[in-house]
Structure formats: structure tokens, C-alpha cells
Chains A and B, each alone.
Chain A
Amino acid sequence: MARNVTQRRKILNTAAAWTIGLLIFFPILWTILTSFKTEAQAIADPPIFLAFDWTLENYGAVMERSNYSRFLWNSIVIAGGSTILGILIAVPAAWSMAFVPSKRTKDILLWMLSTKMLPAVGVLYPIYLLFIQFGILDTKIGLVIVLMLINLPIIVWMLYTYFKEIPGEILEAARMDGASLKEEVLYVLTPMAIPGIASTLLLNVILAWNEAFWTLNLTAAKAAPLTAFIASYSSPEGLFYAKLSAASTMAIAPILVLGWFSQKQLVSGLTFGAVK
């Protein structure tokens, strides 16, 4: 009897959760579906869900018309470059804070976090001006630098949290056995730290890929990544739903896949360890 009740509750829970989950996911699903329709089918009344002539022509049209590959390349360079640069700078900092903590470590960490709170719009013009001065407006290197700086606090924090979990005794034992600092870092620490570094990398690629304040304001024709490419669809001419959908699907697909892998790290990464 009791088992029946729990079984029934499980069925109800499953039904409710699946319904809500599909509802939340629906806009993405609809975008993906629409990207395979013809423009006429995309605005058909009543809307067509699955029974349409699946076509790939929108993908071809988007790639042809808007030089999609250049935007994609810009996104990859900017998101990848800023993350790798950030990690290179953050690893030594996080390492030293985790293994050689001083009285000030906590203050430094919190201060780093506080730089993340600076509203971008408050420093928009100075950055704009500096970019012009240094001739890096509308360049990939400019965006790599800015996105690296805005994500650096998160990178340091995430790495710090991961490094903290590596037991210091292991390092001591290695030292006792006569390992040099170099060997200690290379053979003991690095293998243990790789999972943490990998998930930091993942989350920050996602954040940089989707960043849409600096990428919109500091780029024009040359260095614009996918965020700006999509924004160019905001003043449409003629039929364009299917093409918009194809462009959107291409812009979000790689990150959706990466994102699903990183969902566990997302929580501690984005709450700075306040929720684990």
C-alpha cells in the first residue's frame, strides 16, 4: 500500500518535471526546429511543429550571406584566448593563495571579487577612449584583454577553491622524498589540479562566449563575434525567421553542449564557493 503511494507520487513527479522541463526548453527547441523550415513554413498559421519539409537551405544562406565563419572564428579566438590567458595568470596566483596563505589572502580574494562588481557601463567611456588611444578598438586582442580582466576574478576564485581541496600533506610528503619545487608542481600538483583547471576553463569559455556588453560596444565590422552577428538580425528585412533560427542555432549549439558538461561546476563557480 505504502509502496503504491510512493510509486504514484513518483509518476506524478516525473510527469510534472518533464512537462515543466520541456516548457522551459521549448524556445530553444522551437528555434532549432524553425531553422530547418522554409521561410514560408516558419511563419505558417497555424504553426507547424514537425510535419514540414526539412531543409538545410537556411544554414547555407546564413553562411553565404553574412560571412558567418569570420564571426565564429572571432568568437572562438576571443572566448578561448581570454580564458587561456586568464588561466595562465590565475594559476600561479591561486596556487600561492591556496598553499602559502598569509593573513591578507582572504582580503585579496574578496577584493578581487569586488572588481567583478564594477558595473561595465560605469567605465564604458574610459575603456572606449583607451581602446582608441592604443588602437585596439574593433580588434580581437582588445576584447581578449577586456574579457580576460572581467573574468579573472572568477577564474582565480574557482582555481583557489579547487586547489584548496588538494591536501597539503601530499606536497609535504613529496618534499620529504626530495622532490624539488619544479618536480612537486609538475608531477604531484598538476595531475591533481587538472580536473579543476578543466572545469574552470569550460565555465569561462561559456561566460566569454556569451558576453554581450563589451563585445557589442567595442567591435564593429572586423572583430565582431557571434553576439554581435546575432544582434545584426534585430532590424530585419523581409522573411527571416528561419534564417534567424539557423544563425541562432549555430551560435548557441557549441555552448549548449559545453554547458551541459559544466553544470556541476557552475554552482560553486558562479557563487564563489558560497553555495556548494
Chain B
Amino acid sequence: MATQHSRSAARIMMAPAVILLLGWMLVPLTMTLYFSFKRYLPLRGGDLGWVGFENYIRFISSSSFWPSVMTTLTIVGGVLAITVVLGVFLALLLNQPMWGRGFVRILVIAPFFVMPTVSALVWKNMFMDPNYGLLAHLWEFFGATPVEWLSQASLTSIVMIVSWQWLPFATLILLTAIQSLDSEQLEAAEMDGAPATKRFAYITLPHLGRAITVVILIQTIFLLSIFAEIFVTTGGAFGTKTLTYLIFQRVLESQNVGLGSAGGVYAIILANIVAIFLMRIVGKNLDT
């Protein structure tokens, strides 16, 4: 059906998008690689020559590297655990017959549309503030001493804020997946006397497997690079410096571009490991 003529027309129509994305990928990436092998301090002498792998070694051996990796993993792991578990639960609940499901859906999805700087600041001030925050009032109501959330329990606080932002995403996707489950299968199992827990474990959960994987992979990619939530709450203090934040500080705050770029390359490699798995799943689903 497709003629030679339409094929070349198609190629021309694709060209702008392909060329732009190719440029967007290759140009900055090449520059990051280039800088990562240089001692480059824009404010203190500029380009001070090639240094081989020194930046890569220094970035890893700096005392803030491993803590930042641990912080990143804690945040990503914590948020994933909370959003997936609560997401499955919420999706199951929202799939039950009830009144006003559409309205509840709207309430549940809302946090996803709140810009990160707003949700971080609202949580920081109006909920987690040790004097005026609602959580402090709640703690006092029960006779407990209010927690200084963002300094004493900084990582927990960040995980809470970010989980609140991402729970809607997980819930919505898992709900969509549950709705495609064949209800006859569940009814048959119920007739055969399978208890609810077994029906969940052997029918619903396997059916959700793929959706859960997709949620985990997509969230991981976004969570690895969360920035605004830390920028406006702790500014990287109290052990909340993630890999992304560490690189940001090296590059823009202390203007050590060579070192920051080496860190950037590590971040790219890390993200790509996750991306490969995601692409496999998406690719399988794509029949052109």
C-alpha cells in the first residue's frame, strides 16, 4: 500500500522530531562527557586541562558520594514501597461497587496535579512545622511532643511528601489494570470456595504484575531525579542530599563542572539501567 512516494514523504515528516531529539540527546551528552575528563572551574581559572578519569575517581571517593547514593536509594525505595502497596489497596477499594466513585477518583488523583514546589512548601510549613504545623497540633492533641519533621526525621518527611505526590499515579494505573480483569474468573473462583485472600494472591495480583512493573519503572525514573522537593524543604541538609542534588551542588553552587559532569555520567548510567527494563516492557507491547 505504501508507495515509494509516500515513504519518502513520511521520512520528511518524521525528520524534524528525529533531528531535534537527536540533537537534544547528543549535544549535551557529548559536552558532559567532554567536561567530565577536564579540570574545569568556570569561576576559578576556567579550563585547566585534561585530567583523565580523575573526576570520576574523586566523585566516588568524596565523603558525600556514598551517603548520597544511600539517600537516593532510601527515597526511591521508600516511595516505591508506599505507593505500590497503598496503590494496590486503593485500586482494589475503588474497583468495588460504591456510591460516588467518580468523585472519590477525583479526590485521589488530585495531588498528582499539584506542582512539586507547592506540595513541598505546603507540607513543610502547614503540616510539618514543629510549632504551627497541623501534625504538631495532632501530636499535642495526643499528648506527644511534636516532631521536628524536616530536621529530625528528614528522610521520612521527604518520603512522605513524595509518596503523597505519586500515590495517585500508582493508584490510577493499577485501577485501570484491575478494571481489565475478567470478573468471571474471580466469580468462578468464588463459587469454587476460594477465600478472598487466595483470590487476590492467585488471580488479581498476577494480573496486576505487569502494571506494577510499569509503575515501578516509570516512578523510579522520575524519583531518581526529584529535585524541587529537596530544593525548597531542606536544601540538601539533614542527610537529604540525593545524587541529583549532589551533582546540582557541584555544578551550579560550587561551580566545579568537571567533577559535577563525572557525577552526571554516573547518574545517566544509573538511569539507563532502569530504562532498559522499562523499554523492554514497552517494546513488547508495541506491534507496528
> What chain A residues lie within 8 Å of B144 (beta carbons)?
none
Q: Is the CB of A10 within 8 A of B214?
A: no
Q: Is the CB of B214 within 8 A of A275?
A: yes
Q: How many residues of B contact A (CB 8 A)?
A: 105
B101 sits at the interface (CB 8 A): yes
Per the bound structure, the CA–CA distance linking A227 and B210 in Å amounts to 34
Instruction: Give the interface size bracket for A toward B.
Output: 35 or more
Given contacts A115-B25, A121-B264, contact A274 B281 (CB under 8 A): yes
B 8-23 to A, binary, CB cutoff 8 A, 1 in contact else 0: 0111011011101100
Q: Is the CB of B106 within 8 A of A260?
A: yes
A 5-27 to B, binary, CB cutoff 8 A, 1 in contact else 0: 01001100110111011101101
CB distance from B217 to the nearest CB of A (A): 9
Q: Is the CB of B108 within 8 A of A210?
A: no
Q: Is the CB of B285 within 8 A of A273?
A: yes
> What chain A residues lie within 8 Å of B107 (beta carbons)?
21-22, 24-25
Q: Is the CB of B286 within 8 A of A96?
A: no
A198 sits at the interface (CB 8 A): no
B65 sits at the interface (CB 8 A): no
Q: Is the CB of B105 within 8 A of A149?
A: no
> What chain A residues lie within 8 Å of B127 (beta carbons)?
27
> What chain A residues lie within 8 Å of B28 (beta carbons)?
123, 126-127, 130
Q: Is the CB of A273 within 8 A of B98?
A: no
Q: Is the CB of A270 within 8 A of B29?
A: no
Given contacts A125-B35, A153-B21, A275-B177, contact A248 B118 (CB under 8 A): yes
Q: 7 A-B Cβ contacts within 8 A?
A: A18-B104, A28-B111, A93-B14, A93-B18, A124-B264, A230-B115, A252-B114
Binding site for A on B (CB under 8 A): 1-2, 6-7, 9-11, 13-14, 16-18, 20-21, 24-25, 27-29, 31-32, 35, 90, 93-94, 96-101, 103-119, 121-127, 132, 134, 137, 141, 164, 167-169, 172-173, 176-177, 180, 210-211, 214, 218, 221, 224-225, 227-228, 231-233, 244, 247-248, 251-252, 257, 260-261, 264-265, 267-268, 270-272, 274-275, 278-279, 281-283, 285-286, 288
Interface contacts beyond A100-B7, A120-B227, A122-B265: sample of 5 additional A-B pairs, CB < 8 Å, sorted by A:
A27-B123, A126-B32, A130-B28, A248-B121, A258-B113
